[in-house]
Amino acid sequence: MIGRGVLIIGASGFIGSAIGRKLREEGFAVTGVARGRCDDAQFPVRAMECTIEAVAKLVSELRPIAVIHAAGPASVQASLSEPDADFNDSVVPFQRLLEGVRRSGLLPRVAYLSSAAVYGDAEVLPIPTTAPVRPVSPYGHHKAICETLAAEYATCFGVPSLILRIFSVFGAEQRRLLIWDLFQKFRADAQVVVDGTGEEARDYIHVDDLAEQLASAMVTSSAPRVILNVGSGRSVTVQELARLIGRLLGSSKNISFTGRQRVGDPREWRADMSSYEALSGKRVSVDFERRLEEVLQQWHA
């Protein structure tokens, strides 16, 4: 496993655990870090606080080829109500990670899980990685700040970075956000009432497909600073999603929309995956309906 070590910060989380499983399948020697015990992980996980000193010591010990930052908050709406908490839980830990890597004296690639939220209301669809960064929520602004920090450490200290702008991720272990909410409404409510107009659209990516795209990018990226979208290249409206979930659940419940637009929610996101395809040499092919059906079946079990 020499030269195949990977360190994952936030390894007990929804995305971090999926990435760890995938990288282990790909033959990497995976070590995770979490704040508490993680006895059910499929790879070694150390319980520790990621101070600068602790990160420097761990990187020096393990000598990984990559450090993946998968920790931090994941709610646009929570960032609007508590922007200071979002900043302290996202920007501050990532800066500590970068400084810890710098102090280790080694130069593993730092992979940062950013978000399509940095784009805000994009003028061009699908959204290329060259699109202007114009976030419309504290969550998006803080992701953009972390991208700038990665650029700082790449430019000033030679720490190579891989920025992954993730679109709308979902999976069976993520029991929140729109897909979970719709599943719950179809299961429990007399009728399905959804905020918005129904025309809002997102590019959905299953967490296992996300992990596969990350694994592919890790072994093919060599430039000091790489920015990639992580998505499917296809957008689905809320109305289409609700109807699809109803059909997959065998439900004939009425679906209606409040017309209320939530603050911080752009109208449509759709990823331009050409940069990823050029780097990896792989064409993105995501079967959203099959992945969605798998998740619904797992929730039904």
Residue-wise pLDDT tens digits, 79-108: 999 999 999 999 999 999 999 999 999 999
> What's the CATH class of domain 5-171+204-233+269-286?
alpha beta
Three-state SS at 5:
strand
Q: Where are the domains of the chain?
A: 5-171+204-233+269-286
Please give the pLDDT value at position 41: 75
pTM score: 0.95
Please give the pLDDT value at position 237: 97
- CA nearest to 276, candidates 290, 291, 286: 286
Mean pLDDT of the chain: 95
DSSP 260: P
Residue-wise pLDDT tens digits, 172-227: 999 999 999 999 999 998 899 999 999 999 999 999 999 999 999 998 988 999 99
Percent of the chain topping pLDDT 70: 99
Residue-wise pLDDT tens digits, 30-46: 999 998 777 677 899 99
Q: How confident is the model at residue 3 (pLDDT cuts 50, 70, 90)?
A: low
Please give the pLDDT value at position 1: 37
Q: How far apart are CA 205 and CA 277, in angstroms?
A: 16
- Which pair of tokens denotes residue 101? 């890597």
- Which pair of tokens denotes residue 192? 């399905």
